[in-house]
Structure 1
Amino acid sequence: MGLIAGIYSIENKAIDSGRHLDKMIQCQQHRCQGGEPVKYINKQIAIAMVNPLDSIFSEYDIPTNSHNPISGLYNGIYAFTDGIVLDVPKHKIYFESNGLPMQDNTCSSIVAAAYQKWGLDFMLHLEGEFSCAIWDEKKKRLVLARDPFGHKPIHYYSNNKKVYFSSEIKGILDAGVNPGIDLTSLSDFLSLNCIPYPATIFKNIFQVPPGSLVIINSLDIKIKKYWEPVISVDKTISFENAAQMITESLKEAVKRRMMAKDAFCFLSGGMDSSAIVSFMTEVSSSTVHAVSVGFEEEEENELEDAAVMAKHVGAKLHQVIAKPDSFFDMLDLMVFHHDTPFTDTSAYPTFYAGKLGSSLTDVILTGDGPDQTMGGSGHYVFAVKNNIFANRKKTFQFLSGIGAGIASALSIDPTPALFSKIHRKLYRQSLGPVHAAYDIRSYFPDIVKKYLCTKNLYDVHSAHNPYRHPEAWFKQAQGLDDINKYLYADMQFYVPDDLMIKVDRMCMAHGLETLSPFQDIKLAEIVNKLPGHYKILQTKNNQIITKYILQKVCENRFPEQILTKKKQGFGVPLEKWLKQNNGEKIKEILLDPGSLQRGYFKGKSIEKFVNVFLENKGDYFFPGPNAIAGLLTLELWHRRYLDFI
């Protein structure tokens, strides 16, 4: 629950800060739901935060407008936070015992004191789900920092005269920055389903990378990495000891995040959120409240499972039903909160969960993260079953490429048919293992992308191959088993660039602060010491058990229905909702003349894409419902952010 906004003059010239800073704050006010801005303005910098939870650890409430996080005790160090720093009372005792008297128990004061003591290493000594901005008056230096997993956002833009920085991109845009679209990022989005940091969909607007500082002065802008996920397998840890270590660490991670008067968590009925509510009820002295989202469509509804788990641990369940009536209006609203096109439509139920949660509390715990650290995704199952990362013979790849070319000439388009399916198979066999794995994950695989995109956009794809990113992640993970390589790649990419963006934006749309125990650094260090087969087990009869170690942790915590249920994820009945009213909304948005003339896609190909989908002639490959959703959010984003500049 918070926001950061600011403008820094690289040229050390006076800036028209007040008007722009107020606009940057106002457009992000949804992140706060109350609270007054705390500002610092001088000739070179204007910086502000609104963070009603800054004083969450205080024994008494400090009026936000009277709190001064820029105390002279820290020698001109001015700190501003979005989110929550953990263990503030312990830090306060430590700093005061080391000659740094603390004026209060606020997160921002702890950040200022940590920077005073440890300089640019200050984030190594702090934990929590937060981002921050620090102005060092003595060194005339601006420091932007982001938590290790990228739970909280912070963005920046530089034009060599000024640097604009803001929690959400819209803050930078409302300061008068008009950057336009980055076509390389658009190409990456289509192939990878989201955009890898530090890039965004906007030219020259960047994310502060997770686990990093961006250090800015009048001479340059530097990025300093202070943390990244490192998987280093310790073969001496037995499976039983690993389960015990995770149990103790997860319990402590949950306990550290239960600082609010009342305890709340999201509960889907799946393993991850069920684990959180189980540990919460174990450590809480009061009733734990669980927030769940359901659907009218029975095939997607997990409310029964959530109710079973809540009853099992004695939690009080609060439920809301997400309905399709407002789905398309909601897409536009979600684009506003994302500031970017997106394909992860679980954002829709997350928005509903955030709305209900915000009516009950300011802070809520989530179960996000273990799919990408302990192996819960269907992508990993497919990879293990098909051994997709095995080395491929160059001759086989070459001959498959020739065959793919012949099949391509015999297939009219990617619509499911004999030759188009042969084309798909041979093309993927011609690729390297990593490229093939991510082409399978893509909602716009190479064949579909080439069919849809104009020459101009596909030339961008060819010049900046989107699969350069996963190839680099797998290279960094060299020496690990295939499961851990894949998990490492998702920790580097999917967690910060999809999962955390979705959770933060959809909950902060209602001013609801989220904390994620599974992303605790101490827990991550344990999990990252474990071999892949502790996370995904392939039995002798080729059964695949995902999140095997977490199942062991939870085997005596869950009722049988939860322990043995098939993973559903936090999905929506997307295809059904998209096709309501015979797809009128899809046609209205995607086949609008203005949409077809943007220059990114070939008009006839988009018409075919939409018609095949609505006539039920497609499949997962062409055209999948998430691909349709991605095109819809791209067009809605374009209308909202570019058409009226």
Structure 2
Amino acid sequence: MCGLVGFLYNKYKVDSEISSQLLSMTRSISHRGPDDDGFWIDEKSRVALGHRRLSVLDLSSAGHQPMHSKSGRYVIAFNGEIYNHLSLRETLDSVSNNAIEWIGHSDTETLLSCFETWGIDVTLEKISGMYSIALYDTKHDSLYLIRDRMGEKPLYYGWSGDVFLFSSELKPLKKFHGFSGEIDRNVLALFLKYDYVPSPYSIYKGIKKLPQGSYVKISMANNSWSREYIQDPNYYWSMSDIAQSGKGAKRFKGSDKDAIQKLDDLLSKSIKQQMISDVPLGAFLSGGIDSSVVASLMQKQSNNKIKTFTIGFKEKQYNEAEYAKKVALHLGTDHTELYITPEQAIDVISRLPKIYDEPFADSSQIPTFLVSEMTKQHVTVSLSGDGGDELFGGYNRYFMANRAWTKIEKIPFTIRKLISKGITLLSPKIWDCLINIAFKFLPSSFKMSHPGDKIYKFSRMLTSNNIYDVYDGLVSHWS
């Protein structure tokens, strides 16, 4: 991963203060890009860009950022990877009659040429990848902040006085002189409800996350940067729109066998694109379906043994390393595993605030960090199966919400409310005790973990007004 920072300013006491601020902000994300750093300041337009680079494609200085386009119109600070940049280069060469003189083979250079040739909106339709982009248009004195379709790469932005700040992380914003860092208590309440800070909010008042599949544009007016001239996020891609189109005219009409083959083709193509790299790469492997499929398709398209990584625990209920080892043996990968002690896991806790910029209550953050730390000793890039459950509906809540609501909505609301109140008269722990007693007299297929929590979620479902309230109740940890 790389990292970007920057700001738009209206006045400074001395020019050296601008450089000092930019250097401090950029250094605070050095962990995102250990290979190189770069800075660009335009004193006329009062724009400052900083970049930290992790070299993945084109390890030479030709990939240095911030990078200028061929004409000099655009300046970019880019974090991520454009998976189809090689095919885009072929298209650019074709439409320009090979007039583009390429300096290197980085996807950043390709991306800049796309913006010069097709503009912002058409380029965003054509590119495939994960990215956060700060693009400055010197011709129109406009800054574009762009985030990828799925929101894989983070990008924060907001105002500190009359200075507009943006960054891949919150840490650089805290380095900016005068940044208040005031906690947004309304957002804190959302964190307690969902166990994370949802987009477009951040934990700091006045700072937002750029939503996935969108960009914001801010233009200079009357020779100054102002809150009045920043547009609301413009969505160039919407997952809900794609899902709706899949239910309509674009619905797949083949057989089950055709669907399996189509899915295999799509996944194989995606994996192949993401394996394009000038540095060693591997895969996280847990032994589950998602990571196993990714590792399998990687091995299928590799002439050598791919490197796979997993961590294990001595506690059987948490240990997935045994499954991962079996999958690795079956696929023939070069497998590395590391068994973690409770002490090692506890030691990570004090480091979490430096790893994650804002509150994040998913316990998986500890093993994720540990497996990443181990993997970094062997490869630079690692693919994973994260997001598979979300994409393919692997969690119960995706089908439970609709199934439950079709029955619940038939019960009068007053009765539902009374039942819900009755349920919450007992705490989840008491429900656990009572139900566990009942489980002793029932077949093992009826048993479940944390039944009290599930009953409380059901009580929230009973007071719902629509299907969206039902789903919100299922993903909420506090009400």
The normalised TM-score by structure 2 is 0.83
Taking a change above 3 Å as real, the CA distance of residues 39 and 286 of structure 1, as seen in their structure-2 partners, is farther
**2:113 counterpart of 1:104:** no
Counterpart of 1:291, as a letter, is F
Taking a change above 3 Å as real, the CA distance of residues 394 and 273 of structure 1, as seen in their structure-2 partners, is closer
Q: Where does residue 62 of structure 1 map in the other structure?
A: 60
Q: Where does residue 518 of structure 1 map in the other structure?
A: none
Q: Where does residue 313 of structure 2 map in the other structure?
A: 295
1:109-188 equivalence runs, <5 A: 109-121=109-121, 122-159=123-160, 161-176=162-177, 177-188=179-190
TM-superposed CA distance for 1:404, in Å, is 4.3
Taking a change above 3 Å as real, the CA distance of residues 33 and 84 of structure 1, as seen in their structure-2 partners, is same
Query: Is 1:400–1:430's contact at 8 Å kept on the other side of the alignment?
Result: yes
Q: Which has the higher strand share?
A: 2
- Among 403, 412, 423, the residue aligned to 1:396: 412
Taking a change above 3 Å as real, the CA distance of residues 57 and 400 of structure 1, as seen in their structure-2 partners, is closer
- Among 180, 195, 198, the residue aligned to 2:197: 195
TM-superposed CA distance for 1:314, in Å, is 1.0
Query: Is 1:263–1:284's contact at 8 Å kept on the other side of the alignment?
Result: no
**2:226 counterpart of 1:226:** no
Q: Which has the higher helix share?
A: 1
Q: Where does residue 318 of structure 1 map in the other structure?
A: 336
Q: Where does residue 572 of structure 1 map in the other structure?
A: none
> For 1:362-414, what per-residue CA distance to the aligned partner results, in whole angstroms no more than 9, with x for missing partners?
11111122201111124336447xx2231644762212224545776xx4866
Q: What secondary structure does 2:237 align onto?
A: coil
Gaps of 5+ in 2: 221-227, 435-451
Q: Distance in 2 between matches of 1:429 and 1:68?
A: 54
Gaps of 5+ in 1: 447-645
Counterpart of 2:290, as a letter, is D
Taking a change above 3 Å as real, the CA distance of residues 45 and 395 of structure 1, as seen in their structure-2 partners, is same
Q: Where does residue 547 of structure 1 map in the other structure?
A: none
Taking a change above 3 Å as real, the CA distance of residues 89 and 40 of structure 1, as seen in their structure-2 partners, is farther
1:47-446 equivalence runs, <5 A: 47-53=49-55, 56-58=56-58, 61-63=59-61, 67=64, 70-71=67-68, 73-97=70-94, 98=96, 99-121=99-121, 122-159=123-160, 161-176=162-177, 177-218=179-220, 219-222=228-231, 223-229=233-239, 230-231=242-243, 232-233=246-247, 234=251, 236-260=253-277, 262-380=280-398, 382-383=400-401, 387-390=403-406, 392-393=408-409, 396-405=412-421, 411=425, 416=430, 428-432=461-465, 433-444=467-478, 446=479
Query: Is 1:81–1:130's contact at 8 Å kept on the other side of the alignment?
Result: yes
> For 1:564-585, what per-residue CA distance to the aligned partner results, in whole angstroms no more than 9, with x for missing partners?
xxxxxxxxxxxxxxxxxxxxxx
TM-superposed CA distance for 1:89, in Å, is 3.2
Query: Is 1:10–1:160's contact at 8 Å kept on the other side of the alignment?
Result: no
Q: Distance in 1 between matches of 2:416 and 2:176?
A: 52
Q: Where does residue 556 of structure 1 map in the other structure?
A: none
Q: Distance in 2 between matches of 1:46 and 1:244?
A: 49
Q: Distance in 1 between matches of 2:152 and 2:208?
A: 16
Query: Is 2:9–2:163's contact at 8 Å kept on the other side of the alignment?
Result: yes
Q: What secondary structure does 1:269 align onto?
A: coil
Q: Distance in 2 between matches of 1:105 and 1:236?
A: 40
Count of residue pairs the alignment pairs up:
435
Q: What secondary structure does 1:73 align onto?
A: coil
Q: Where does residue 546 of structure 1 map in the other structure?
A: none
Q: Where does residue 442 of structure 2 map in the other structure?
A: none
Counterpart of 1:106, as a letter, is S
Q: Where does residue 27 of structure 2 map in the other structure?
A: 26
Q: Where does residue 570 of structure 1 map in the other structure?
A: none
Q: What secondary structure does 1:216 align onto?
A: strand
Taking a change above 3 Å as real, the CA distance of residues 428 and 94 of structure 1, as seen in their structure-2 partners, is closer
> For 1:396-439, what per-residue CA distance to the aligned partner results, in whole angstroms no more than 9, with x for missing partners?
2212224545776xx48665268x99987655423234323432
TM-superposed CA distance for 1:164, in Å, is 0.7
Query: Is 1:401–1:427's contact at 8 Å kept on the other side of the alignment?
Result: no
> For 1:18-37, what per-residue CA distance to the aligned partner results, in whole angstroms no more than 9, with x for missing partners?
11111111111111233233
Taking a change above 3 Å as real, the CA distance of residues 79 and 190 of structure 1, as seen in their structure-2 partners, is same
Q: Give the stretch that moved more between structures: 249-258 or 35-44.
A: 35-44
Q: Distance in 1 between matches of 2:65 and 2:473?
A: 51
Q: What secondary structure does 1:325 align onto?
A: helix
> For 1:507-556, what per-residue CA distance to the aligned partner results, in whole angstroms no more than 9, with x for missing partners?
xxxxxxxxxxxxxxxxxxxxxxxxxxxxxxxxxxxxxxxxxxxxxxxxxx
TM-superposed CA distance for 1:199, in Å, is 0.7
Q: Distance in 2 between matches of 1:235 and 1:296?
A: 45
Taking a change above 3 Å as real, the CA distance of residues 313 and 71 of structure 1, as seen in their structure-2 partners, is same
TM-superposed CA distance for 1:269, in Å, is 0.5
Counterpart of 1:429, as a letter, is L
Taking a change above 3 Å as real, the CA distance of residues 70 and 412 of structure 1, as seen in their structure-2 partners, is closer
Q: Distance in 2 between matches of 1:412 and 1:265?
A: 45
TM-superposed CA distance for 1:270, in Å, is 0.5
TM-superposed CA distance for 1:326, in Å, is 4.0
TM-superposed CA distance for 1:243, in Å, is 0.9
> For 1:277-309, what per-residue CA distance to the aligned partner results, in whole angstroms no more than 9, with x for missing partners?
111111111221101111121221111111111
Higher relative contact order (CA 8 A, sep 6+): 1
Q: Distance in 2 between matches of 1:439 and 1:12?
A: 49
The normalised TM-score by structure 1 is 0.63
* Structure 1 segments of 4+ aligned residues over 6 angstroms from their partners: 11-15, 420-424
> For 1:438-480, what per-residue CA distance to the aligned partner results, in whole angstroms no more than 9, with x for missing partners?
3243222x2xxxxxxxxxxxxxxxxxxxxxxxxxxxxxxxxxx
TM-superposed CA distance for 1:51, in Å, is 1.5
Query: Is 2:137–2:143's contact at 8 Å kept on the other side of the alignment?
Result: yes
Counterpart of 1:369, as a letter, is G
Q: Distance in 1 between matches of 2:255 and 2:8?
A: 52
TM-superposed CA distance for 1:4, in Å, is 0.1
Query: Is 2:147–2:212's contact at 8 Å kept on the other side of the alignment?
Result: yes
Query: Is 1:268–1:302's contact at 8 Å kept on the other side of the alignment?
Result: yes
RMSD: 2.7
